[in-house]
Amino acid sequence: MNRPLTTLVWLLAFTALAMLPQVLSVKYYLHLSILALIWVIVAQGQNLIQGFTGYVSIVQAGFMGIGAYGSTLIGIHFGWPIWATIAAAPLITALFALLTGYPSLRVKGHYFAIVTMAFNLIIVIVLVNFRELTRGEAGISNIPKPWDGDRDAYFYLALTLAAAMTLLAALIARSRVGEILRAIRQNEDLVGAIGIAAWKYKLFAFVISAMYAGLAGALYAHFQGFINPEIFGVAQSLDAILAVILGGTGTIAGPVIGAFLVVFLPELLRFADSFRLILYGLILVLATIFMPIGIVGVAKTVLARLHRPGARHDG
């Protein structure tokens, strides 16, 4: 697709989303849509490290937890206003990401995935056991909500932030940094060989992706009003990976579509009840085998074919 057409599609999608609170009569769907918008931020962050840089990180939900607990605890102990705590959340998360990213990024491929997952497990263990601070498994309730819990207003907040974060991701992807990140994914040794310190860029991608997650975590906490360690486990980190894969790895639209899928798909599979987890896993396996380029990838291929009539159809 050409540039103006792409911009038009984005604007249409944004307008359609902005009309949702007026259109949706079932309040539960509005609730899910807000969650999906928060997950758009998580998935955009995951895509920066997983999609562009080619490092599958399994700690995104853990970083969400740090953002959520960070924002909540600062509010409780220092009495900061909600906006200040939400703004502080990505910064706290960035600090943790710097500390964990340095050792994790010394290894590649699967090892990186496993080490980051170990960090996610550590975060959950600390959240469960450091009761004096986190109140353990029971979690923290009555977290203050802005606008007295007005859902429509929160929807627009989530929408604005999700759009801004998507735009930021697009700007990063288009910049020289984005080019280097993609080069690292394709051939890290070559990047090093032409005199670029790849580790700086990898750490940058890791920390930025963590800041996305931290922001999303804070938004989650002040939306739901309740957090406990279970919400920020490895299973949720896998959801972030799933969102990127299903939507389209290394694209900007992919994580948006993927985030809505991972929030709404389990709801749609509710009819399957206890088979839900099996079905969900099966979809993931089948999607990876038969559609590794994701929904956006497939759409792009189809559009490219339509634009070139007479192009080969054997595929």
Q: Is 133 in the site for other proteins (CB under 8 A)?
A: no
CB under 8 A: which stretch of 7-15, 22-30, 277-285, 301-309 binds other proteins? 277-285
Nearest distance from residue 292's CB to other proteins, in Å?
A: 5
For other proteins, which stretch binds (CB under 8 A), given 26-34, 77-85, 112-120, 206-214? 112-120
User: 93 with 70: CB under 8 angstroms?
Assistant: yes
- CB neighbour burial string for 264-296, b if at least 16 within 10 angstroms, e if fewer: ebbeebeeeeeebeeebeeeeeebeeeeebbbb
- In the bound state with other proteins, the residue whose beta carbon lies nearer, of 82 and 127, is 127
Q: Which residue matches tokens 């989530």?
A: 158
Among 162, 213, 245, 262, binds other proteins (CB under 8 A): 245
CB-wise, 25 or 274, nearer to other proteins? Answer: 274
**Single residue of 13, 24, 107, 269 touching other proteins by CB under 8 A:** 107
Positions 13 through 32 that interact with other proteins (CB under 8 A): none
- The verdict on 241 binding other proteins (CB under 8 A) reads yes
How far is it between the farthest Cα atoms of the chain? 68
282 near other proteins, rule: CB under 8 A = yes
The angle formed by the CA atoms of residues 41, 45 and 46, to the nearest 5 degrees, is 115
Tokens of 311: 């192009």
CB of 198 to other proteins, least distance (A): 15
CB nearer to other proteins: pick between 109 and 149: 109
| Of the candidate residues 78, 83, 147, 275, the single one contacting other proteins (CB under 8 A) | 275
149 binds other proteins (CB under 8 A): no
Instruction: Check residue 66 for interaction with other proteins (CB under 8 A).
Output: no
| Count of residues touching other proteins (by CB under 8 A) | 41
CB distance 211 to 93 below 8 Å: yes
C-alpha 216 chain-centroid distance = 8
Question: Of 49 and 208, which has the nearer Cβ to other proteins?
Answer: 49
Phi first, then psi: give them for residue 228, nearest 5 degrees: -145, 170
Among 280, 297, 299, 300, binds other proteins (CB under 8 A): 280
Minimum Å gap between C-beta 62 and other proteins is 12
Report yes or no: 85 and 75 within 8 Å, Cβ to Cβ. Answer: yes
48 binds other proteins (CB under 8 A): no
Q: Select the residue interacting with other proteins from 165, 234, 253, 295 (CB under 8 A).
A: 234
Q: Which of 43, 50, 18 is nearest to 256 (CA)?
A: 43
Contacting positions for other proteins (CB under 8 A)? 50, 54, 56, 103, 106-107, 109-111, 113-115, 117-119, 121-122, 125-126, 128-129, 234, 238, 241-242, 245, 274-285, 288-289, 292
